[in-house]
Amino acid sequence: MEKKTEKKGASKRSKAPQNRPKHQQALVQAAAVLFRKQGYAATGTAEILKRSGAPRGSLYHYFPEGKEAIGAAALEAASKVASRTFRDLAANTESPADFVRAYATLLAGWMEKSDFTDGCPVATTVLETVPGSDIITPVARTSFQHWQRTIQDMLMSHGWHGGRARATATLVLSAFEGALIMARVEQSASPIHDTAEELAALLAG
């Protein structure tokens, strides 16, 4: 079982530190996209490998706990992106009503661009793995709590008080979560805009 021994290595022409965790990030990124679009169980490790360009060995090197660990990492990555979006949007809008409208526009554009094959990166995986997976469940929980808190803070910075802000933030999150599902099924951004307009009415009144 001899293999070609390519001695071509050893050339350290570039000191670019590109070969450290070369494939780790690619794996998470690929998994995030695939899980989001087609679900957790329907996505095989082979597909993740192919899309990321990583070999099988790397997957189990970086994620000894296997597929579930990749799922958790993908959720974590997606969660951070969304949290940052929430914060940025909160900083650049003038009222809660503005905030939900702006976020709706963002989501709608995103869904349209993907031909309605995208959706919430957390929801898809969650419905297949929570509470079954001990690795994914806590990550998902933290993610939702973080989002909820970010929206709650946004409301409070506009004068809302604790208890009501908490419940309202939950409604906002629930509504967008559901609107993404409806948009996907109806292949239309309308549910997102309808939901946001009604939310805006509540937040303004």
Partner DNA sequence: TTGATTATATAGACTGATCTGTATAACTTT
Partner DNA sequence: AAAGTTATACAGATCAGTCTATATAATCAA
Residues at the contact surface with a second copy, assessed by CB under 8 A: 38-42, 116-117, 119, 123-124, 126-128, 130-132, 137, 140-141, 144-145, 166-168, 170-171, 173-179, 181-182, 184-187, 190-191, 194-195, 197-199, 201-202, 205
Neighbours of 149 (CB within 10 A): 14
Q: Choose which of 29, 37, 39, 47 interacts with DNA (CB under 7 A).
A: 47
Number of residues that bind DNA (CB under 7 A): 31
Rounded CA-CA distance 1/47 in Å is 27
**200 contacts: CB under 8 Å, gap ≥ 6:** 96, 97, 98, 100, 101
Nearer to DNA, 58 or 152 (CB): 58
CA 40 to chain centroid, in Å, comes to 13
Tell me the one-letter amino acid at 152. Q
Nearer to DNA, 16 or 163 (CB): 16
Beta carbon of residue 160, minimum distance to DNA (angstroms, whole number): 44
Verify binding: residue 36, DNA, rule CB under 7 A.
no
Helices in 92-161 by DSSP H: which ranges? 96-113, 121-129, 136-156
Largest Cα–Cα distance of the chain, in whole Å?
A: 75
Q: Which stretch binds DNA (CB under 7 A): 43-51, 72-80, 97-105, 188-196?
A: 43-51
Rounded CA-CA distance 80/143 in Å is 8
Q: Which stretch binds DNA (CB under 7 A): 5-13, 28-36, 140-148, 179-187?
A: 5-13
CB of 51 within 8 A of CB of 33?
A: yes
Verify binding: residue 161, DNA, rule CB under 7 A.
no
Positions touching DNA (CB under 7 A) are 1-3, 5-6, 9-10, 12, 19-24, 43-47, 54-58, 60-62, 64, 66-68
